[in-house]
A and B are shown apart, each in its own frame.
Chain A
Amino acid sequence: MTDKKKENLTKVMDYLKHKDPFSKGVAFCPGCGLELLLRFIPQVIGNDIVITGTPSCSAPVLLGQNNQSWHTLSYFGTLMTGAAANATGLARYYRKAGIENTVVCFNGDGTAADIGFGNLSGAAERNEPFIYICYDNEGYMNTGIQKSGTTPYGATTTTTPLGSAHKGKNLRRMNLALKMAMHKIPYAATATLSDLDDLAKKLLKAKEAKKRGFAFLHVFTPCTTGWGYAPENTIEVCRRAVKTNYFPLWEAVNGKIRMTKTVKKPKPVSTYTELIKKFAHMSEEDLQILQDDVDYEYCMLGGLSLLEGECQLPVSSED
């Protein structure tokens, strides 16, 4: 390990001010990105959060079974359709009752981008005072790897399988984080597990921002089982997603976008896809379509980050 790497590691550890509330052994797959994220959040922003979760990969560990639990956090296991509305109800009641609180609405991309997007958008529009975190593993992994709105072009899932007529998803992925930033909420950001100091900073900013209203974090969270890569490669997959601009790191305060990490010489997206089996069938042409999509998204983001000024409306959550 180089000195610089050691230094970075120390920096990350410095953010872990609180204990890990999870049991040492939990029911996630080896190499699961979600587990790292889930353990990281309360260590950075505290154990006195109320976390809500839905049926998803996070559920077996987050929600516990009967009267047994894998952790010591207060949690609310709820429905995918109304996750953001549940968090709204909690945060609003705590405010009314004068109870200091940090509500973390923790959902996969199926809830955030698909079935629960309506109420996510509604909560953002009303500037509700809580933190919404989407862990994006690009599909419905818990039900056995099906396509979601954030599944990228070309990726195979069990509902976008390889066949003689169709090969993988023939649609682009939606840019959930950008959509959320366009609500001009106090804070929106992307993050991933290869850049934990960046993630930690954004978690703390989100916690601060929720005093002014809605905070949204979109965390790129690879899935070793669903995507088909070696469990030890989770962090490397994240790293390459950032270095190819497949998943750029940025933040937006009141809708004003700023890159938090700029990649000087982005690698071709194939250096990211080559690690992952779900892209393995893709031809040069297919990869070019994906590359064009990545370039276009990045270009749009770059353009938005150049805009001057920001939303001047007062930001207080509806009351």
Chain B
Amino acid sequence: MITKAQKKSQIKVITGNAAAAIAAKLARPDVVAAYPITPQTEIIEQISQFHANGEMDCELITVEGENSAMNAVMAASLAGGRVFTATSSWGLVFMYDAILAAAGARAPIVMVNVNRETPGIIAVSSGQQDMISTRDAGWIFLIAEDCQEVLDLVLQAYRLAEDYDIQVPVMVHYDGFYLSYLSEGVDVPFQEDVDQFLSVLKTQPERTKLVPGGKLGCGSHGILLGYLELRHKHVSAMERAKAKFEQIDKEYEEIFGRSYGGLVEEYRMDDADAVLVGSGSMCGTIKAVIDEKRAAGVKVGLLKLRMYRPFPSEAMIKALKGKKAIGVVDRSLCFGFKGGPIYTELKAFETKLGGSKMISFIDGIANTDITKINVATMIDTTCDLAAGKDVREVTWVSYPEAQEEGGL
């Protein structure tokens, strides 16, 4: 149906994967590389169908592996094209060398990664371990909470990746098996509005392109000072990406009427004593439990991470400063540390939080549901911490044996 208020979109009931595929189509990429892997496959199936129907005018490369998918879109991107590909877990790590190369080459690729576990136990199940395993590659990481945000983030990712001042590849993450296969109402924007949103890029200076006869090289042996210069520029671009993403979020709202608050989304944070920090699909459940707790008079809020790389430390400090207790929920592990990866990283800023105490929750790994009961446990524990009680630093919420074993 067409929403009457704005006539700028159609509501469709679609999966997160379909939302990603439609967003990719709306962005009009020149080159798409496709390779199947659960739970991402539906994305490339839908794109292939769009291509077969003549609805998507792109070069579709059905590669023989994810490593080639990343290599193909990297080169097409450096040649000047707009590109798209999607993957998950083993696929993401199979393209790891090309992921590093693409970031170093500052190829403005947009890729969707549907989060899935990557241990030796072949876990066809949800978790953010794939994302964590690539966090230092030099890509910008965005994380979606629901199917609508999947679509919105893919479109925003193009503005961010291809921005002349940024030129860093962007990965859009969302939870496999939860959002990938979950159907919900998604406001699908019209092509002309997406074109308008992306047209800002055409007003910017052209980025350097590798073309025949251009006497230009990419991928020289950068050594000593040349290398340091490029690496520093990359780090600087990552820092600039924070403000740029806030600005893109605002412009997106002007056209499409949806804003998420930029780098982080604050939910009922104003007078909260206890705060959960989360990311991805768990946030919907957390919000629902917070509403119930609030109704019972508990002062609790949620800080949702939308951007994970660069780490939005300033925005997080601003939102969390002065809160009595913070519980960070991680859907992955940080080997060598007891707490989860996001918890461990936020710990680095503990002294800037004005005395907030922090604890870590590990949950939602390998398809264990982060249920409302689990969230209530996390909120109660964090509230106990806020009240000055002694609580565990790390809790494996769905695996009480971890606590019993006493290792943590």
Is the Cβ of B212 less than 8 Å from the Cβ of A95?
no
Q: Does A60 contact B (CB under 8 A)?
A: yes
Encode A191-211 as 1/0 by CB contact (under 8 A) with B. Answer: 000000000000000000000
| B268 shortest CB reach to chain A, Å | 46
Q: Does B13 contact A (CB under 8 A)?
A: no
Q: Does B150 contact A (CB under 8 A)?
A: no
Q: Does B215 contact A (CB under 8 A)?
A: yes
Kindly identify which residue among A67, A79, A89, A125 contacts B220, using a CB–CB cutoff of 8 Å.
Answer: A67
Q: Does B296 contact A (CB under 8 A)?
A: no
- Interface segment, A99-107, A150-158, A164-172, A219-227? A99-107
Is the Cβ of B71 less than 8 Å from the Cβ of A93?
no
Is the Cβ of B61 less than 8 Å from the Cβ of A100?
no
Q: Does B270 contact A (CB under 8 A)?
A: no
Chain B, residue nearest A77 (CB): B219
Chain B, residue nearest A60 (CB): B221
| B247 shortest CB reach to chain A, Å | 29
Is the Cβ of B64 less than 8 Å from the Cβ of A89?
no
Chain A, residue nearest B96 (CB): A81
Is the Cβ of A74 less than 8 Å from the Cβ of B219?
no
CA distance A78 to B217 in the complex (A): 11
Kindly identify which residue among A85, A87, A102 contacts B212, using a CB–CB cutoff of 8 Å.
Answer: A102
Is the Cβ of A74 less than 8 Å from the Cβ of B101?
no
Is the Cβ of B221 less than 8 Å from the Cβ of A77?
yes
| B35 shortest CB reach to chain A, Å | 10
Known contacts A87-B75, A102-B212: A93-B218 contact under CB 8 Å:
no
Is the Cβ of A96 less than 8 Å from the Cβ of B81?
yes
Is the Cβ of B68 less than 8 Å from the Cβ of A122?
yes
CA distance A119 to B72 in the complex (A): 10
Encode A160-181 as 1/0 by CB contact (under 8 A) with B. Answer: 0000000000000000000000
Known contacts A65-B220, A65-B226, A85-B68: A93-B215 contact under CB 8 Å:
no
Q: Does B211 contact A (CB under 8 A)?
A: yes
Residues of A contacting B211 with CB < 8 Å? 50, 74, 94, 99
Is the Cβ of A93 less than 8 Å from the Cβ of B79?
yes
Residues of A contacting B60 with CB < 8 Å? 318-319
Is the Cβ of B71 less than 8 Å from the Cβ of A89?
yes
Residues of A contacting B157 with CB < 8 Å? none
| B218 shortest CB reach to chain A, Å | 5
Q: Does B295 contact A (CB under 8 A)?
A: no
Q: Does B67 contact A (CB under 8 A)?
A: yes
Is the Cβ of B220 less than 8 Å from the Cβ of A64?
yes
Kindly identify which residue among B31, B98, B222 contacts A79, using a CB–CB cutoff of 8 Å.
Answer: B98
Point out which of A50, A63, A79, A86 has the most chain B C-beta atoms below 10 A from its C-beta: A86
Kindly identify which residue among B61, B71, B79, B227 contacts A94, using a CB–CB cutoff of 8 Å.
Answer: B79
Residues of B contacting A66 with CB < 8 Å? 220-227
Is the Cβ of A88 less than 8 Å from the Cβ of B221?
no
Q: Does A22 contact B (CB under 8 A)?
A: no
Kindly identify which residue among B77, B97, B213 contacts A81, using a CB–CB cutoff of 8 Å.
Answer: B97
Taking CB atoms and an 8 Å cut-off, the chain B residues in 151-197 that contact chain A are none
Taking CB atoms and an 8 Å cut-off, the chain A residues in 302-319 that contact chain B are 318-319
Residues of B contacting A74 with CB < 8 Å? 210-217
Q: Does B143 contact A (CB under 8 A)?
A: no
CA distance A48 to B221 in the complex (A): 22
Q: Does B65 contact A (CB under 8 A)?
A: yes
Is the Cβ of A77 less than 8 Å from the Cβ of B218?
yes
Q: Does B74 contact A (CB under 8 A)?
A: yes
Residues of A contacting B276 with CB < 8 Å? none
CA distance A73 to B67 in the complex (A): 26
Taking CB atoms and an 8 Å cut-off, the chain A residues in 121-139 that contact chain B are 121-122, 125-126
Is the Cβ of B75 less than 8 Å from the Cβ of A76?
yes
Taking CB atoms and an 8 Å cut-off, the chain A residues in 58-76 that contact chain B are 59-60, 63-69, 72-76
CA distance A167 to B71 in the complex (A): 39
| B139 shortest CB reach to chain A, Å | 16
Q: Does A92 contact B (CB under 8 A)?
A: yes
Chain B, residue nearest A83 (CB): B71
Is the Cβ of B215 less than 8 Å from the Cβ of A72?
yes
| A142 shortest CB reach to chain B, Å | 12
Residues of B contacting A318 with CB < 8 Å? 60-62
CA distance A68 to B223 in the complex (A): 11
Residues of A contacting B393 with CB < 8 Å? none
CA distance A73 to B220 in the complex (A): 13
CA distance A87 to B72 in the complex (A): 7
CA distance A75 to B214 in the complex (A): 9
Residues of B contacting A126 with CB < 8 Å? 61-62
Q: Does B59 contact A (CB under 8 A)?
A: yes
Chain B, residue nearest A88 (CB): B72
Residues of A contacting B64 with CB < 8 Å? 118-119, 121-122, 125
Residues of B contacting A72 with CB < 8 Å? 215
Known contacts A64-B217, A77-B218: A119-B68 contact under CB 8 Å:
yes
CA distance A118 to B71 in the complex (A): 13
Q: Does A82 contact B (CB under 8 A)?
A: yes
CA distance A90 to B83 in the complex (A): 12
CA distance A126 to B69 in the complex (A): 13
Chain B, residue nearest A69 (CB): B217
Is the Cβ of B58 less than 8 Å from the Cβ of A81?
no
CA distance A248 to B79 in the complex (A): 37
Known contacts A66-B226, A73-B215: A93-B80 contact under CB 8 Å:
yes
| A33 shortest CB reach to chain B, Å | 22
Chain B, residue nearest A48 (CB): B213
Residues of B contacting A87 with CB < 8 Å? 75
Q: Does A1 contact B (CB under 8 A)?
A: no
Q: Does B70 contact A (CB under 8 A)?
A: yes
Please give the residue numbers on chain A whose beta carbons come within 8 Å of chain B beta carbons, in ascending order: 47-50, 52, 59-60, 63-69, 72-79, 81-90, 92-97, 99-102, 118-119, 121-122, 125-126, 318-319
- 13 A–B contacts from the bound complex (CB under 8 Å): A52-B75, A59-B221, A69-B220, A79-B98, A82-B98, A83-B71, A89-B74, A93-B81, A96-B30, A96-B59, A119-B64, A318-B60, A319-B60
New A-B contacts (9) at CB < 8 Å, excluding given A86-B74, A96-B30: A48-B212, A60-B221, A65-B222, A76-B78, A76-B217, A81-B97, A89-B72, A96-B58, A318-B62
Closest 3 CB pairs of A and B: A77-B219, A82-B71, A122-B64
